[in-house]
Each structure stands twice: as C-alpha cells, then as structure tokens.
Structure 1
Amino acid sequence: MKNRILPLDWIVFFILFTTSSLILIGRKVGNLSFYSLMLVALICLVFRINHSGTNFSELFHKFWKLHLAMAGMFIAILLHQVIAQDFAIRSFDYPSRMALFVLIVWACLVCNARMFQWLQWSYVLGALLSIIKMYIITDGGTTRAQYVDFMPIIEFADLTLLLGFFSILSIKYGSGTVRAQRIGNAVKILAGAGTLYAAFISGTRGAWLGIPFLCAIAALVLFDRFELKKKITFTLLVVTLLTGMFVLHPKVQTRIQSVEQEIDTYSKDSSVDTSVGTRLGLWKASLMVFAEHPLVGVGRENFRPTLERWGQEGRISPVIARQIHSHNEMFYNMVTLGSFGIIGLLGLYIVPLIFFTRKLRQSKDKELRAVAGMGMMLCVGYMIFGLTDVMFMWGVCDNFYALFAAILFSHLYQRERVLALSNIAS
C-alpha cells in the first residue's frame, strides 16, 4: 500500500492545529485529540502505512529510551499495584497519555514538515485565546478565581505561559516574505508578552517562578548569532529585566511579602490554614509517609485516606489531613508510588529534556533549534511548575505534555528528514 492516504495528513493536521489552539479553551479538546490520534495510529498500523520510508518498528527501536521514559509513570503505577495487590484501573487513565507516546508520534508523522511549520500559528492562536480567557475570568486582574472551567487557575497560567513562549520561539522559523515575517513576528511577540501579562494578573506565584527559566531558554535560542559569552550576557540581561519588572510591581511585592508572612505564621502555629504553610506541612507529611512506605508508596487512591487517618491520630494537623495532593509533583509521587514514582517522574522530565537539549546543541538549522527549544521549555516548565503543584493530577496537563511532546518530536523528525534529503540532492 502507498505510504500516504491523501486525506489522512490533512485530518491529522486539523487535529493537531485544533489541539494546540484550543486545548486550554475547551473541556474535551485534549481527550478528543488523544483518542483521534490513537485511531489514526491504529489505521496506519493495520494498513501498514509507513511514513517517509520509516516503519513503526524502526521508530520504536531507534527511540526506545524516550518511549520508555514517557511510559515511566504508567509503569510505576503498574509496579505499585502488582506488588501491593491493590488494583485501581482508573489510576492508569491520565498516565496512559504519556505511555502511548509512540502511537501519538506515529499518527503525527502522517503530516509533512511543512504542515508542522504551519502549526506555529496554532500556538499563537492558543496563546491569544488563553490571554482573553484569563482576562475575563480574573476581571482584568481584579479578582483571583481558583478554577478555570475544568482546571485550576495555577495550571491554566502555567500552560498559557508555555504557549506564549512557543509563539516567541517560532519567530526563528523565518517563512514567507520579509513583510509577512515582520507582521507575523509582531503578532508572536504580542502573544508572548500577552501571556506574561496573563501570568501576572493570575497572581500565580508558581507561574512567576518559571518565567526566568523560560526566558533563559528563549534567549539562548533567539540570540544564536552571538558567541557564547555574549549569548550568556544577553540571556542574563533579559532574565534580569523581566524579573525586575515583575518584582518591582506592588501586586507582585504583596504576593511575595505574603510568602514571608505565611512562613512566619507556620513556624509559630503549623495548624493555621495558609497557602504556603499548607504546602510546607504537606511536604513534611509527605516525607513522613514516604519514610514508612519507601518502595511502592501508599497508592494514588490511598493518599487522602492516609492523611485523614494520620489526622485522626494527631500526627498531622486537620488542615493537612484534608488535602487531596502534596502540592509538589515529586513529593506526591514519593508518597503514592514510592521509589518507583521518583524514578518514573525523573524519567518523564529528564530523558525528553536530554533529547531536546542534544538537538538544540547539535543543530545549526534555525527551525530545528526553535523546536528543540520548545521541547526544552515543555520539560523545564513542568519541572518548575511541579515544585508548587501537582501538574499531572489534571487531565489537561497530561494531555498537554504528551501531545506537545509528540508534536515537537515529530516536527524535529520530519525537519531533519527534509534537511537530510536536501543535503543529498546538493
């Protein structure tokens, strides 16, 4: 059979464009995109459709370490349930998004390199729509909602930032006429700056914490014409400038001062219900639980019952006892999945990060470097955001990580193939 079914590439492109632009806007967009791509992948496997001369077996074996790392959390849950003999099928739902990464990639590779380049506008559209949504739900920054439809405002602010920085890095694609590039770049900068504003009015300190790291990656990619010393200087300058603009604003200063006050309050009375105090108490309690269950943890389903029991026994405060997670990705996985959870989470963060970082270092092509930078931002962003919350507890965050990792990986793969063919032709 031919390697390509004519309408299939456009169907997948529509799915990916819709995903990138609407995943933070519509409740079911992420799930619909995931299952649609699974269907496409199965069609390709059943009819033995190869992509650009690559078959599924080759793709799996060549990148098996990455596929294994993406399945790390799924494997950790499986090991816990087998060893603890405590089975709960629903615990596999969200982690399955990452575990099936190889199938999402196989579906994405139906699209050609040009189509992946067009996806830059879905990042811009997604950023702009999310900015508008943030402005509406916060009444222009005058109120701070806890939830945004189907996700907490913390995660919404985090993912909005990532879309904004993806938009900025896509400036390096450099397609179209000079005039079109200038207009497009202006829109991308507007989208990026707008997501910084959205993070600001959200009042989300976790998102603010990630901004310097995302700025650093953006600067390293955008200033690629400079030598290393100048690149580091410009990076530090950009990070310092943006950090200073945030820190000097009264609203940000108030939020920072509240951290100091809440820490002081917690040191005097750990039972007081404050945002920072609760986090500190949860982290301490998480270490205590992990110390008693270091190998497999207590399980996803038993996190809250364990805290409630400890609260009744007086080992932790009532405020801590009624929390649903640890407010820290690593601590939550330590408690629920033990050492397996630590390994699984680190694999999910670090292996894709190494992959994208190597691509950035090895390539001189501007588009490849931009896409690799986006991949780094995805991994680093989740690592930083996970310091103060549990990102992978929310379906939209699991879908976002899995789908964008697959999109960026596939973009790199197809772009490298095009460059390789052009080198052969020349």
Structure 2
Amino acid sequence: MNTVSSSRPLTESGSPASSTLLFALPALALSSKSGLGAVQLVILLIFIRHFTPVLRGYLRHWGELSGVTLAFLLYFLVSLVRMVVDHQPLHTLDGPSRLLFGLSCIGVMYYLRPRIRYFWLGLCITTLLAAAVAAYQVLSGQMERAIGFTHHAITFGDLALASGLMSACGLAAFRDPRLVRLNWLPGLALVAGLLASVLSGSRGGWLALPLVLIPLLTYGKRMYGNKLPLLCALMLGLLALAFAIPATGVADRVWLALMEVRRYLDTGDATTSVGIRLELWRASVMMFMEHPLLGVGRDGFDNALHALAASGRLQQSPALEYSSSHNDLLHHLATGGILDASLLLMMYVAPLRYFRAELRRQDQGQHPLALAGVVLVAAFIGFGLTDVMFWLMMPKVFYVMMVCSLIGMCLAVRHSAPTPRRILITRTDNIGDVVLTLPLAGYLKQLYPQAEIVFLCRRYAAAVVAQCRHVDRVLTLEELGPDLARGLKQTGCDTVLFAFPRRELAWAARRAGIARRIGSTRRIYHWLSCNRLVNLTSPLGVRLHEAQLSFKLLLPLGIDYVPEREQIWTLYGLDIPRHPDADAVLAGPGFKVILHPKSNGNGREWPLAHYTELARLLGKVDGVRVLVTGSPAEGELLAQQAPELLALPNVENLCGRLDLAAFTALVGGCDGLVASGTGPLHLAAALGRPVVGLFPPLKPIDPVRWAALGQRAHNLVNEPSCGHCADPAQCSCMLAITPQQVLAVIQGWRAEQLAPAA
C-alpha cells in the first residue's frame, strides 16, 4: 500500500515565529505608523542577521528581481543626490530610505519561508477589525469620519479597502483542511474593507474599484471559477445599496463631489473639497511646465504654490494651505519633474510586471499572492488619483512592505526544498515511543528512497530499531561518546528531526553544523539551537496519536501530511527476528498469550487481580499457554504483589529471562499480547501480532494518544469515565475493564487460528 500523500508538495516552511511575523505584518500596517515601522525594523534586523543566505536568494533570482530592486533603489539614490545638491536636511531621506529598506522583505520572506496561510489569516482578521473599529467610531458619534488607529481618514480608508481587496485573492488558502471552516473569511473581509472605506468618507478610494476589478475578474475567474466574480458582484451590490440608503451619506458625498466639480468649472470656486483639489492640480501643471526636468524641488511645493498666487496666476483660496498636489503623478511632476515622475511609474510598473509574470507561470501556489500584488498596485494607482500615496509615510511604507513581502512569498512557494541525503531521527526515550516513531522512518524512505535514514536511540532499544527495514543505520546515544557534536558531525547527516527533544543533542547538532535542524516550539532551547521550528499543537482542537505527531516535523521539508491512524501500521516495517532463547519458549505446543502486567511507571496499569483472574480463565481453555513477561525488577514486584498469578499451573514466568532481542523475537512469534499502554504493547502491534491494549479515558494517556496501532490491535477503555481519573488512588476506570472482556477478545483470536484447520 502506497501511503505517500498525493497532494502537491508544499514549499519548505520556516518556523512559527516567522509565520507570526507574517500574521503581524497586515495587522500592524493598519494600526499605526509606529506599528508598521516596528515590523519593518524586525525584518531589517533579520536581513542583517542572515545577510549571506538572504543575499544569495537575491542573486539567485536577480533576473526576476532586478526591475523592482532598481525601481526603489534608484528612487533612494536620486533622493540622496537631491539632498546633497539642494542642501536639504537629512530627514528628507526618511521616506526614501524606508522604501529602500522595504526591499529587505523580499529576501527575508524568501529565506524564512513562512506559512503563507498566516498572511491570509492576518489580512482577513485585520480588515474585519478595521471595519469594526470604523463602525464604532462613526456609529457611536465619536467621529464623523472613521480614522481607525491612524490619524488620517483617507489613509485609513484606502489601506482598509486595499486589505479587503487583497483578502479576496486568498480564497485558495482556505481550501486547506485547517482553514476550510473559515472559507467564508475572505468574502467577509472584502465587505469589511469596503465598509471601512465608506465609513472613512474617502471618496477618492472608490475610484480604484474599476482598476482593481480588471485583474480580479480576469485572473480571478481563471483561478476560482465564478466564486471571485460573485464576490465582486456582491461588493458592487453593497456599494449600490449604500448609495441608495440616504443614511449612509454615500449618495450625498457623490452628488456633492459632482456639484463641486461643476462649480469649479463654471465659476472657478476653489473653496470646496473637490475645488481645492482641482486648483492644486492646475497649480501642479503650471509648476511642471516651468520646471519640466527636475520640478520645483521636493520641499518647494508650498513656496511655488504661494509664488503662483502672488503673481496672480492662482486665486487666493484654501488651496494655498495645502502642501501637496493631491494627485500622485502630478505631485511628482511638479516637485521632481520628469525624473521623479519616471521613478514613480517605475515603482508601479516594475512590481506589476513581476506579478503578471508570476501569474503567467504554472501555479505552484504563487498565483493568489501574485493576484494580490496586482490588486495592490492597481489600488494604489487608483488611490493616487486623488491623493499623494508616496508623500505620507504610512501608505508608502505599507506599499513597499506589502509589495516586497508578496514577491518574497511568491519566490518562497516556488522554492523546492532540497532533497535530503542523510536524515537523522532522534528518539532517545522509551521503547514504545521508539516503536511509534518508526512509521516516520518508513514514510521518509518512501519519499526519499535514495536517502539514508539514520535512527538515534538508546542502546537498549537498538535491537528493535535494527529490525526496521526502513532504517539504514542504527546509532545509539552511547556510541556518540562524550563529545556529542563531534559524533553527530561524523554521521554526515544534513537533516535532523528531533522526535524526542533533548537539550544537549539540540545544541550538539548546531555545533556539528547539521544544515537543517527541525524541532518543536515547545522547547525554548529549540528556538536557539534549531533553524526550523514546528508547532505540534493540532489545529481546531484535533488530537493526534503519538505516532502521528512526529509527522508534523516534516512540514519544514515541504511535506504537509499526517497519515490516518489506520495507515500507520503499514509504515512500521518491522521484521520478526529469530532468537534461540525465544525459540526455546515458542517451540512448545499451544496458543501462546503474553501477559505484560507492569508498565515501568508509564500510564495506568490494569489491576494485578484482573491479570490473575484472566490467567485463571485462560487455564480453562484447552491448549492456551500464558507467558508472563517483564524486566527483572518487575518480576520481583510480581512475586511480591501477585504470587497467585505466578503460581498458576498454566503460567510461565519469563520475567528477567530474556534480553530485548530475545523478547522481540518472542513477541513476534506469540499468538497474542495483553498489556496497558506500554512498550511491549506497541511492539507487538507493530510486529503484526494480535494485542489488547488497556487504557483509562484520561488525557493524555487515553487511546486517542496512545492506542496500539496495528492490523490486529484491539483497545479497551472504560467510557464514560468514573469521574475520579485525576486521582490514581480513586480512579476505577481500569478496574471497570473486566477479565471477561479481555477473554472474549482472546477467544476470538483463538477461533481465527483454529478456523483454517477446521
């Protein structure tokens, strides 16, 4: 049976920390300029910290990134030259430097390879919160126009609308089983973005909708069928509804704008909101005509505006109080001439060309991101018709960080995780845990048949791991010696999966220079010693079996797959060994049932009185031999606590008589085994033997987490619980599992064995 996931392999994914940063990016972008600056600072620090690998990413994809990189870089360089030539203060480089630093988002996102679903979640949730805040501010009467957490209504409305429009592009992310219950979120976020824009009263933002609808309908239909066009129709319908309802004020603002345009054209009235903008546009054209190459200077707009008024070419109006053209292109033409206007167009056209190229490529998961990029650029072009998006700090930083982050994520999802050559799996705890990790080795061997699978365990468990045909080499902790780093380096492994966390091994793997070190976020030291972290917490409250949990460590390899419990047994790959000591026991006639009463303190044990009664009942069944097993110490305990069990004539006491190799052979040759949730139970199930597992209904030691997984495994648990499971002294759940229940299962095994003979 082929258990390899048939789903498209995912990109190699980074740590939950990087995904959290990705979630925070849109959240802080709409909160405040300082919040957005904080994210940019963190990304810049990551860029500096990992400069060499990040730079390699740029160089590897320079052919694709050159246009975008040069656009923002040239804007900064021109700004630097103009600052020197025009003797401007140093703070004039604040905005251009932010645009330059924004380029770091490309390399950082490509290097970190965060889980893209967190970006879509963050974008959707942030847009919903923005709409909620806007509704509260307006409906409570606090403000006439919502400003969110910003200080500018137009900026807030534009960014909220852009976030909502981009959210609609992420429908594909919500096909993920972990997000499928939230597949309504992008549509709601689109509506929320529109609502926030309406409540902000920023009419100019609505001019972006026709531009944005072009890519949404063109590419969206190809990607999502009719789903995205229907969302666009819903958005337009709601906008029409808002226009029709007088209480929203949308119709009033539209008619007022049209009336103000007519008044300006007829009488030159520049005292209204629209009239002021038209007057500023006229002034900007005059400035450009007089200074076509370099404009009046980036800080010269105000002086030039008043100079035009003083010369009588502009009327005295409120427009003279403004410091920008309220139009992106006109402002750059006026203050920077053809040079600055060309740079502005480059900062729009270069990202647009990149995202369109991504949309023309075969989809490897980058199409939704690229569509969001096209929508973002188109939206900002539309916003720039009535505002100067690259004049205020917040929108320009939002633009460059979003554009560059989307580019970095596009590159990341196209990245194929390097094929491991030698994979080290570490599981240095108990035998049962080791057995339940062997399916991970089996799955890796199916995925990478040419790779060498090395399994690190304690010496006492090596005999079991050696029987796994999926493991190429068994390495014991004792073999590594006192210098763990040196021992790990000598293995030549390029990937290590810490299925069992151990501090000294994690640090040793880092010192050994193992390229890919994958650990759990549950251990703080993994955050410093591992370069790939995995959150083992299951989504939406789904509980996984111990054997399934280790598969989550594959996510940084680009493998998002957890097998069903019913598939686990096909991946064990354990061969049944032979051993003379075991052969001597198995040579005798009869149906051989192993009872393993003790668990070395792991989990809850079935009462010894029940084991004794079960052995007594089995003594009444013809041809059944009862083999009691355990360590030497457990044998001594049984002699003290259950002498009646060991004294029964049909019971053979094997405690302490077999080493692990012989015990494994015995288990592999027996006809059944009964135990609580302990190593021998999982070993027998992995070897394909009939087993009965005895469990309490208590998290985390219940069958959901620790059931025996095998083709012939049977697990018994008392449900509902006794209500006192938290206190072992009072819990009666194990007592409630009767010997007669176990006997019935064993008799079924016996009948199956006798059936062929009959």
| Fold shared, TM-score > 0.5 on shorter chain | yes
Gap runs ≥5 in structure 1: 1-7
Q: Which residue of 2 aligns with 1:16?
A: 22
Q: Closer, same or farther in 2 for the Cα pair 1:322/1:340, shift >3 Å?
A: same
Deviates more, 1:130-139 or 1:217-226: 217-226
Q: Structure 2: how far apart are the matches of 1:101 and 1:253?
A: 39
In the TM superposition, residue 99 of structure 1 has moved relative to its aligned partner by 2.1
Partner of 1:208: 206
Tell me the equivalent position of 2:325.
326
Shift of 1:394: 1.7
Larger displacement relative to structure 2 (71-80 or 388-397): 71-80
The C-alpha deviation readout for 1:196-237, integer Å capped at 9, x for no partner, is: 12222222211222223334433334322689xx99997996
Q: How big is each residue's C-alpha offset from its partner over 1:134-180, in whole Å with a ceiling of 9 and x where there is no partner?
A: 11232368953385554421111111112112222211124432xx5
1:61 to 1:359, Cα distance in 2 relative to 1, 3 A: closer
C-alpha separation in 1, matches of 2:164 and 2:224: 24
> 2:127 aligned with 1:127, yes or no?
yes
Q: 1:226 to 1:339 in 2, by over 3 A?
A: same
Change (3 A) 1:189 1:247: same
Q: For the residues of structure 1 that align with 2:76 and 2:274, how far apart are their CA atoms?
A: 30
* 1:26 partner letter: S
Per the alignment, residue 374 of structure 1 pairs with 372
- Matched with 2:293 is 295
More helix by share: 1
Is 1:95–1:398's contact at 8 Å kept on the other side of the alignment?
A: no
Alignment match, 1:270: 268
Q: Give the C-alpha shift of residue 242 in structure 1.
A: 5.6
Partner residue of 1:34 out of 12, 36, 40: 40
Q: Which moved more, 1:72-81 or 1:156-165?
A: 72-81
Which structure features the higher share of strand residues? 2
* Counterpart for residue 364 of structure 1: 363
Which residue of 2 is the match for residue 3 of structure 1? none
Is contact 2:220–2:229 with CA below 8 Å preserved after alignment? no
Which is worse superposed, 117-126 or 322-331? 117-126
Name the residue aligned to 2:73. 71
Unaligned runs of 5+ in 2: 1-13, 420-446, 450-758
Deviation at 1:11, TM superposition (A): 4.3
Q: In the alignment, is the contact (CA less than 8 A) between 1:310 and 1:321 conserved in 2?
A: no
Cα distance in structure 2, aligned partners of 1:237 and 1:419? 40
Deviations 1:41-92 (A, max 9, x none): 11112xx3358xx44433446522220113343244345445x534332222
CA distance in 2, matches of 1:19, 1:268: 47
CA 1:236 to 1:148, structure 2 compared with 1: closer, same or farther past 3 Å? closer
What is the percent sequence identity of the aligned residues?
23
Secondary structure at the residue paired with 2:103? helix
For 2:49, give the aligned amino acid: I
2:143 pairs with 1:167 = no
8 Å Cα contact 1:328-1:389 kept in structure 2? yes
1:15 positional shift: 3.0
* Closer, same or farther: CA 62–209 of 1 in aligned 2, 3 Å: closer
CA distance in 2 between counterparts of 1:146 and 1:226 reads 33
Alignment check: 8 A CA contact 2:291 2:337 kept: yes
Q: 1:5 aligns to what?
A: none
Structure 1 position 183, deviation (Å): 2.4
Q: 1:185–1:141: structure 2 CA closer, same or farther, 3 Å change rule?
A: farther
Contact in 2 for aligned 1:219/1:234 (Cα 8 Å): no
Higher relative contact order (CA 8 A, sep 6+): 1
Q: How far 1:266 moved relative to its partner?
A: 1.4
Q: 1:226 to 1:136 in 2, by over 3 A?
A: closer
Counting only pairs closer than 5 Å after superposition, residues 98-247 of structure 1 correspond to structure 2 as 98-112=99-113, 115-139=115-139, 144-145=144-145, 150-177=150-177, 181-224=179-222, 241=237, 244-247=240-243
In terms of mean alpha carbon deviation, does 218-227 or 301-310 score higher?
218-227
Instruction: Give 3-state SS (helix, strand or coil) of 1:28's partner.
Output: helix
Whether the aligned pair in 1 keeps the contact of 2:356 and 2:370 (CA below 8 Å) is: yes
Q: Hey, what's the Cα distance between the residues in 1 that align with 2:414 and 2:83?
A: 41
Opposite residue 413 of structure 2, the aligned amino acid is: R
Q: How many angstroms does 1:259 deviate by? A: 1.6
- Match of 2:313, SS? coil
| Displacement of 1:260 | 2.0
Aligned 8 A contact 2:348 2:377 in 1: yes
- Asked if the contact 1:154–1:204 (Cα under 8 Å) also holds between the matched residues in 2, the reply is yes
Residues 195 and 226 (structure 1), Cα distance of their counterparts in 2 relative to 1, 3 Å cut: closer
- Secondary structure of the equivalent of 1:363? coil
CA 1:388–1:225: 2 relative to 1, 3 Å = closer
- CA distance in 2: counterparts of 1:213 and 1:381, whole angstroms: 7
Q: Partner of 2:624 in structure 1?
A: none
Q: Aligned AA for 1:126?
A: T
> What letter corresponds to residue 89 of structure 2 in structure 1?
A
Tell me the residue number matched to 2:283: 285
CA shift, 1:383, in A, is 0.3
Task: Specify whether residues 405 and 87 from structure 1 end up closer, same or farther in structure 2 by C-alpha distance, changes over 3 A only.
Answer: same
Contact in 1 for aligned 2:137/2:146 (Cα 8 Å): no
Q: 2: distance between equivalents of 1:213 and 1:327?
A: 19
C-alpha distance in 2 between matches for 1:323 and 1:26? 23
**SS in structure 2 opposite 1:388?**
coil
- 1:376 offset after TM fit, Å? 0.3
CA offset digits 1:79-134 (Å, max 9, x no partner): 5445x534332222112222234323222223225x22322111112111211221
| Structure of larger gyration radius | 2
More displaced 10-residue stretch of structure 1: 380-389 or 195-204? 195-204
Whichever residue aligns with residue 169 of structure 2, its letter is: L
Report the Cα distance in structure 1 between the residues aligned to 2:223 and 2:162, rounded to whole angstroms: 24
SS at match of 2:112: coil
- 3-state DSSP of counterpart to 1:316: coil
1:340 positional shift? 0.8
State how far apart, in whole Å, the 1-side matches of 2:23 and 2:145 are: 28
**What's the secondary structure of 1:109's corresponding residue?**
helix
Amino acid at match of 2:53: I
How big is the shift at 1:192? 1.6
Decide which moves more: 334-343 or 257-266: 257-266
Q: Is the CA contact 2:301–2:323 (under 8 Å) kept in the aligned structure 1?
A: yes
2:47 and 2:54 in contact (8 A); partners too: no
The answer to whether residue 43 in structure 2 is matched with residue 44 in structure 1 is no
Checking the alignment, whether the CA contact within 8 Å between 1:72 and 1:99 is kept in structure 2 is: no
Q: Distance in 1 between matches of 2:418 and 2:182?
A: 28
Contact 1:66–1:352 (8 Å) recurs in 2: yes
Cα distance in structure 2, aligned partners of 1:191 and 1:182: 16
Number of residue pairs matched by the alignment: 407
